[in-house]
Amino acid sequence: MTDETLAPAEKHVFQADVARLLHLMVHSIYSERDIFLRELISNAADACEKLRYEANTTPSLTEDGAAFSIQVALDPDAGTLSVIDNGVGMNHDELNSALGTIANSGTRAFLEKMKAAENSPGAAELIGQFGIGFYSAFMVADRVVVDTRRAGEAHAWRWTSDGKGDYEISPLALEEAPARGSRVVLHLNADSKEEYLRPYKIERLIAEHSSAVATPIDLIEKPGEEPRRIGEGAALWAKNKSEITPEQYKDFYQNLSGQFDDPALTIHWRAEGRAEYTVLAFVPGSRPFDLFDPSRKGKAKLYSRRVLISKDADLLPGYLRFIRLVVDSPDLPLNVSRELVQQNQVYAAIKKGVANRLLQELTKLADNEPEKFADVWKHFGPVLKEGLYEDPERRDPLLKMARFVTTANPEGGRSLADYVANLRPNQTAIYYIAGDGAERVAASPQLEGFRARGVEVLLLSDPVDAFWVQNAVGFDGKPFKSITQGSADIKNIDLVDETQKKDENPAATAKFVAAAKGVLESVVEDVRVSDRLSESPACLIAPDFGLDLRLQQILASAGQAPEKAKPVLEINPTHPLVVALEEKTGDKALFEDAVWLLFDEARLMDGEQPHDASAFAARLIRVLGKAAGA
């Protein structure tokens, strides 16, 4: 391609999300500018890994024999900093797609977080938690030029932008282009030239943030000088643990995860046997932005002999998706598609072995370092509990490590082993209540009788809780039992304070129950005396067979509920209101209004609306009027 044949430049407008991202970076988080170099080096390393993979099926792509490398070149006179790689490079369409749009599914979440934190002290930290890639260059540059040539292709291209709304793509003469790969040239702005053209500053940043990159990094301090190796490009996971410092593990984790926190747990092991593989895994110290992404995919890099096979390998079950890891196995084939690799028996063995070992390590952390595990559970407990529902094979170790908020431990951190060790005499089940929000659950009237008997109850407020308890057989021989479904079975458990026991009038109560059944027969399955109430007049529970109340609510909100079963209304025969109403069964109008109000009050306590809002309001006015003598 000669200068005479070069076509004119094409002008493009940035995708709206890119424009927003650029504006936020330049105006909100300028204090975290150092991140740009880590992001550009990470992109360059990915390009080298991609070409290394493609060359396994197309050796001609690397027939020049040049070793993969990344160069950071400074030009103080021109005021430029360049990051150069000899990786896969980009063609015209790839250049336009990669640098004009954002494909990452978590981008909008990042933008919303940034918008919320704008001009706040937390804004500077968010950039490191997400990893914004190429666009971070505009924090330090007022113009960026990318010269690139895709390996194996005969055309080269130049991308240019000032980051203010549009960019240009034009053909590039081959003599000006890299032989393959990309050259990203940052024309530094006035505030950045002095800082980022100092060799010692660049060397320190690379040592701090990119020392674990698996591609050698060279520094060229000024035009014409020889490159100086400042990053050895050795795969950290291939080293012996004794050779790796905590700082190196941390740097690798931050590069791998795109986060700036410290890992809560680092796990590094080599497995031998049916499959040989090495794993370096990290439990993050804070929640990733994409933790609750609907795709529920993990972030695992899969290598074979240090050749990247997949950047997002499906190696982890969905409930371990928060763990960031690298897996390298010499037993995996290089010359097949990534989809076929996943059908490989060795791959299946690795997948199973990795999940088992990670759960072992989390269990060990829970047993040996409970305070550290408490932070892990705080961030990832709701996700780990998904495994109780999805993975019956590993349910036991998950139940062992699970931690709960209970009536005895409202701050959380209660294990099932501790719960079972403190069962009350004659208690035969692990009791739980599921609901929306810990505070609302803790205020449920169904808890009163259990509290009066000193029976501990699990307070389950995560949406997944309503599902896993339906399938969990039990723990240590004790079944899980909902306190909002079926009979309470707590009569044989003594009250903590027997003096609180109140006298009942069985005959009057039986008359009240029979009359209430007649009033509510269209909306309840039964009305009966409750063992679980000690303070409130009434509550609703689900029938013995069917769905728990909370699960019915969740399925209904998702439009997936079967025909809703009628609840059971339980009444407290010693409550003053019920005792008074036992004497009012002859006043039909008042009695019916009062019973309906009891029913609707019980619905309200469960977070439901009254059965009929207008009828509820009319009854309330009539009863209040009668009480006031109106």
Query: Which residues line the annotated binding site?
Result: 39, 43, 85, 90, 105-106, 129-134, 338
Q: If you compute the radius of gyration of the chain from its CA atoms, what whole number of angstroms results?
A: 32
Non-local CB neighbours of 136 within 8 Å, separated by 6+ positions: 25, 35, 36, 39, 40, 127
What's the 3-state SS for 568-589? EEEECCCCHHHHHHHCCCCCHH
Length of the chain (residues): 630
In whole angstroms, give the CA distance from residue 86 to residue 53. Answer: 14
In whole angstroms, give the CA distance from residue 391 to residue 316. Answer: 12
Closest Cα to residue 235, out of 252, 259, 258? 252
CB burial string 467-495: b at 16+ within 10 A, e below: bbbeebeebeebebbbbbbbebbbeebee
User: What are the angstrom distances between the C-alpha of 504 and each of 498, 513, 517, 573?
Assistant: 15, 14, 20, 7
Sheet arrangement for strand 568-571 = 526-529, 568-571, 538-541
In whole angstroms, give the CA distance from residue 612 to residue 112. Answer: 39
Strand ranges in 32-110 using DSSP code E only, listed in sequence order: 70-75, 80-85
User: What are the angstrom distances between the C-alpha of 544 and each of 80, 97, 547?
Assistant: 74, 58, 9
Binding-site annotation: residue ranges for ATP: 39, 43, 85, 90, 105-106, 129-134, 338
In whole angstroms, give the CA distance from residue 78 to residue 427. Answer: 79
Rounded to the nearest 10 degrees, the angle between the axes of helix 345-368 and helix 370-384 is 130
In whole angstroms, give the CA distance from residue 517 to residue 519. Answer: 5
Q: Report whether 36 contacts 136 (CB < 8 A).
A: yes
Q: Report whether 143 contacts 39 (CB < 8 A).
A: no
Q: Report whether 552 contacts 467 (CB < 8 A).
A: no
Query: 3-state class of 538 per DSSP?
Result: strand
Q: Report whether 259 contacts 238 (CB < 8 A).
A: no
Closest Cα to residue 402, out of 374, 423, 426? 374
User: What are the angstrom distances between the C-alpha of 549 and each of 87, 384, 564, 597?
Assistant: 57, 23, 10, 20
User: What are the angstrom distances between the C-alpha of 234 and each of 69, 239, 580?
Assistant: 12, 8, 81
In whole angstroms, give the CA distance from residue 592 to residue 586. Answer: 10
319 burial class (0-12, 13-18, 19+ CB within 10 angstroms)?
Answer: buried
Q: How would you classify the pairing of strands 141-149 and 181-188?
A: antiparallel
Q: Which residues are registered as beta bridge partners of 302? A: 310, 327
* String of DSSP letters for 33-49: TTHHHHHHHHHHHHHHH
Q: Report whether 373 contacts 365 (CB < 8 A).
A: yes
Non-local CB neighbours of 246 within 8 Å, separated by 6+ positions: none
